[in-house]
Amino acid sequence: MIVCGIVGYIGTRLAVPVLLEGLKKLEYRGYDSAGIAVIEDGELVLNRSVGKLHMLEGKINGDAHQGHVGIGHTRWATHGRPSDRNSHPHTDCTGKIAVVHNGIIENFLELKEWLEENGHVFQSETDTEVLPHLVEHFHQGDLLRAVEQMVSKVRGSYATVVLSEDHPGTLVAARKDNPLIVGLGEGEYFFASDIPAIINYTRKIMVLEDGEIAVLTAEGVKVYKNGSPVEKEIQLITWDTKAAEKGGYPHFMIKEINEQPRALRDILTGRIAPDFSGVDLQEVSLTAEQIKNIRKIAVVACGTAYHAGIVGKYVMEKMLRIPVEVDIASEFRYRNPLIDAHTLTVIISQSGETADTLAALKEAKARGSRVVAITNVVGSSIAREAHDVVYTWAGPEIAVASTKAYITQLLGIYLLTLFLGKELGRIPAGEMTDILHHLYQLPKQAQDILDHLNEQLNKMAEIFNQWEDTFFVGRGLDYAVALEGSLKLKEISYVHAEAYAAGELKHGTLALIVKDVPVLALCTQPDVFEKTVSNIKEIKAREAHVIGVAFEGNKEIGKSVDEVIYIPETLPLLAPVLTVIPLQMLAYYASVHRGCDVDQPRNLAKSVTVE
C-alpha cells in the first residue's frame, strides 16, 4: 500500500480514541478501509472495516476499550481490493502479532510461497500479510531481533509498526522509503505517517530515516540502524492542523505537484526489468496471441485523463505502428464506435468512477473488445469492470485539478506501450533499454524542475493578472501537452486559455492574437522544431508576448520568444512528463495571484459520477 496512514500509541491514555483521532487526520492519505489493534487485558484485540473511518468507528463505539498500547491504519489499496479481510492490521497464524504497513513488498509472492512451505496460512490478498508471518517465523522472545530479521528478508518500500501480545509494553517500527515519525509526549509516545495524526498531543518529533528501526516503550524511544543505537535529533513542529494535512503546503494542488517525483518513482517500482530489457506488467494478462491480433487501439477518457490519452495516441502509433483512436467518453458511447474483438480499448480515469468513462468501458466490452484500464483507485467501478488494470499508484488526489494522476497516467501509457511493443517485437532491444534508462531519470528531473523553476513561474504567472485570454501552442506531443496546460489554467484561474496545434493558427485563430497577449509555445520535439519556430514568428508578427518551453541547452529558442522556461532534457518521446510540470505550476500561481479557490474551483467536482 503506497500511500496509507499509520499510527501507533503507547502511554497512559486509552489507546483507541488516540488511534481513531490520528487516523481521522490521516484519511487524506487513504480512505477505502481501516483498522486498529490494541492490547487489552494481555490480549490482542483487532477491529477492521472496509469503507471510510466512520464504518470502523461504528464497529468499535460502545465497546469499553481499556488498552493503552495499539496500532492503527487507514488504507489506500494497491494489492487486494478494499475489504474487511484485506484491511490492516494483519496478523500471524497465532493471532498474537499484528502489523500495519505503508509501502509495497515487491518480493511478497516469493516470501508467501516460502512461508506457506513452512506451514503458514494466509487470510488476505495483500502483500503486507507476509510481515506478521515473518515476525512469527523469526520470533525467539526478542521482538526487535525478529523485526530486524523480517526487514532483512523484504525487498521494496515500507513504513511498518509491529505489536505483539507477548510484548504488551512495546511497539517496534521500521522504515524504508515511506515516511514515519515518532512523537514524543510526556510519558507517552506515538508513531505516525505524518504530523497531523499527533499534532494535538505533541509538537516534538523524530523523523525516522531509511533503514532505521525504532522501539517505543512507556520509558521512551530507542532507535537502531544495522543493530547499533542511533542518536536522533528532536524537531519542534510549529504548523497548525489544517496546514499539517497539506504537509505545510498552502494548498493540496501544490502539495500534489510536489509529490510527482515520488509518484513517478512509485509507478515504476517493480515494473522495469532489473537489466532494463523490458517492462514487467504482471497485471496485464493479455496473451501473446491476443496481442498479435490487435488491429486497433481505442483510448477513451474524460478531461485530463483524455489529454493523457492523446499523448498515448502519438506514443503508441509511433512505437507499435497500430492505429489508435482517442475519444472523449461522452462522445464515444453514443457514436456507435467501430470497436470489435480486434480492438484493445484503453480506459483512463483517476477516480475510476467517472460515469461517462465507465459507460464507455461497458460499451467497448459489449462489442467484444479487450479492456485495459489505467486508474488510480483500487476496487473502483472501472477497475472492477476492466479485464486488466494498470494502477497508477499516485495516492489520493484531493485537489480537483488533476496533476500527479495525469503524470502517472502518462507513465502507465509508456509502460503499456513498451510491454505491447516487446511482445510484438516492434521495439529493438537497444531502443528499449535507452527508453527505460530515460524513464528512470524522470523522477530526479521532475524534482529539478520543482527545485529550480518555482520562483520564475511564480513571477511569470503574474501576467495573468492583466489577461483574461491566452493561448497554448505546440506540434505533435507538445500539442497534446498544450491541451492539458490550457485546461489546468482554465479550471483553477478562470483565464480563458485555448490550446492549438501550432500549424493550425493561421487557419483562423491567428485573428485573436493581439499585442502583448500571452502565448505559451511548447518546443521539445526536434523533428518539428523549425516548423514550430516559424509558427512562433507568425504569432510574434502580431506582437504577442511569447513564452517558450524548451529543453535546457536549446540555444535557438531564445532568439524567437520573449521568455523561456527551460526543462531538463529527456527523449522527445518522454517530454510530456516534464513539460507539463511548469504548466501546472504556472496555472497554480495564476490561480493564487487571482485569489481563486485553488483546490475547489467553482462549478467543478473531483469525480464526475453523473452523465
Q: Judged by CB, which is closer to ligand AGP: 171, or 311?
A: 311
**608 sits near ligand AGP (criterion: CB under 6 A):** yes
**401 sits near ligand AGP (criterion: CB under 6 A):** yes
DSSP notation for 199-258: TTT-SEEEEPPTTEEEEEETTEEEEEETTEE-----EE----HHHHHTTT-SSHHHHHHH
| 523 classed as catalytic | no
**497 sits near ligand AGP (criterion: CB under 6 A):** no
Least distance (Å) from ligand AGP to the CB of residue 480? 15
Footprint (CB under 6 A) of ligand AGP, residues 351-370: 351, 354, 357
Residue with the CB atom nearest ligand AGP in the bound state: 303
Instruction: Tell me how many residues contact ligand AGP (CB under 6 A).
Output: 15
Determine which helix (DSSP H) or strand (DSSP E) holds 469, and give its type and residue range: strand 469-474
Distance CA 118, CA 510 (A): 72
Q: Judged by CB, which is closer to ligand AGP: 292, or 384?
A: 384
**304 sits near ligand AGP (criterion: CB under 6 A):** yes
Footprint (CB under 6 A) of ligand AGP, residues 200-219: none
The three cell numbers of residue 41 are 487485558
Distance CA 392, CA 378 (A): 10
Q: Which of 4, 246, 404, 490 is catalytic?
A: 4
Nearest to 165 by CA among 29, 67, 60: 67
Distance CA 486, CA 506 (A): 19
Distance CA 413, CA 157 (A): 24
Q: Judged by CB, which is closer to ligand AGP: 322, or 608?
A: 608
CB within 8 Å of 311: residues ≥ 6 apart: 410, 413, 477, 480, 481, 576
**408 sits near ligand AGP (criterion: CB under 6 A):** no
Q: Judged by CB, which is closer to ligand AGP: 11, or 601?
A: 601
**151 sits near ligand AGP (criterion: CB under 6 A):** no
**178 sits near ligand AGP (criterion: CB under 6 A):** no
Question: Chain-centre distance of CA 10, in angstroms?
Answer: 32
Least distance (Å) from ligand AGP to the CB of residue 604? 6
DSSP notation for 498-524: EEEEGGGGGGTGGGG--TT-EEEEE--
**49 sits near ligand AGP (criterion: CB under 6 A):** no
Strands of the 296-301 sheet, one edge to the other: 324-328, 296-301, 343-349, 370-375, 388-391
Nearest to 194 by CA among 247, 136, 253: 247
| 606 classed as catalytic | yes
Q: Judged by CB, which is closer to ligand AGP: 351, or 470?
A: 351
**303 sits near ligand AGP (criterion: CB under 6 A):** yes
Find where cell 493558427 sits. 505
Q: Judged by CB, which is closer to ligand AGP: 9, or 479?
A: 479
Q: Which of 362, 365, 531, 606 is catalytic?
A: 606
Q: Which residues are catalytic?
A: 4, 606
Residues near ligand AGP (CB under 6 A): 302-305, 349-351, 354, 357, 400-402, 491, 607-608
